[in-house]
Amino acid sequence: MVTLLTILSITILLFIWGKFPPDVVALISMIALFLSGILTVEEALSGFSNATVIMIAALFIIGEGLSRTGWTALAGQRFVSWAGKSIPKLLVIVTLGASVLSGFVSNTGTVAALLPVTVSAAWSAGTLPSKLLMPVAFGSNTGGLLTLTGTPPNIIASNALVERGLEGFSFFEFALIGIPLLIITILYFRYVGYRLLPAHTTEERPADIDVEMHKWIANYSIGDNLYRLRIRSMSPFINTKIGDWNFEEEHQVSVMRLKRRHPSPLKQRVPLFVELPDPDTEMRYHDIITVKGAPEDVDKLVLKFALGVIPNPAEMDHLKNELINQEVGMAEMFIAPSSVFVGRVINLGYYLKQTGVQLLAASRDNRPLTGKIKIEAGDAFVIRGTWENIETLKSLYENVVISGSPEAMSKNVASLNIRSYIAMGTLILMILLLVFKVLPGAMAALICAGIMMLTRCVPISKAYKGISWTSVVMIAAMIPMGLALQKTGAAQMAADGLVSALGSVHPTALLAGIFLLTTGFSQTINNSATAVLMAPIAFIAANSLGVSPKPYLITVAISASTAFLTPVGTTTNAMVLTAGGYSFLDYVKVGGPLLFLFFIITIFLVPLIWTF
Mean pLDDT, residues 394-418: 74
Mean pLDDT, residues 152-174: 90
Q: What is the pLDDT of residues 331-342, one digit of tens each?
A: 889 998 888 889
Say which residues have a Cβ less than 8 Å from residue 146's Cβ, sequence separation at least 6: 99, 100, 102, 103, 172, 174, 175, 178, 179, 182
486: nearest Cα among 54, 159, 38, 169:
38
Exposed e or buried b per residue across 272-301, where buried means at least 16 C-beta atoms within 10 angstroms of its C-beta: ebbbbbeeebbbeebbbbbbbbbeebbeeb
Residue 183 has pLDDT above 90, yes or no: yes
Q: What is the structure's pLDDT at 27? A: 92
Mean pLDDT, residues 172-186: 94
Return the SS3 of 76.
helix
Q: Write phi, then psi, for 468 (nearest 5 degrees).
A: -80, 90
> How crowded is residue 306: how many other Cβ atoms within 10 Å of its Cβ?
15
Pairing of strands 358-364, 269-274: unpaired
Whole-number Å distance between alpha carbons of 480 and 30: 7
Pairing of strands 328-335, 380-386: antiparallel
- Band the pLDDT of 483: cuts 50, 70, 90: confident
CATH-assigned architecture of domain 211-321 = 2-Layer Sandwich (3.30)
Pairing of strands 372-374, 253-263: unpaired
Which residue type does 499 have? V
- Band the pLDDT of 411: cuts 50, 70, 90: low
Q: What is the structure's pLDDT at 265? A: 47
Element (H, E) at 477: helix 469-487
Whole-number Å distance between alpha carbons of 329 and 600: 49
Where are the domain boundaries for CATH 3.30.70.1450 in the chain? 211-321, 328-407
Residue 465 has pLDDT above 90, yes or no: no
Q: What CATH homologous superfamily does 328-407 map to? A: Regulator of K+ conductance, C-terminal domain (3.30.70.1450)
Q: What is the pTM of this model?
A: 0.70
Mean pLDDT, residues 210-229: 78
Mean pLDDT, residues 531-538: 88
Q: What is the structure's pLDDT at 17? A: 78
Across the chain, what does the average pLDDT equal? 84
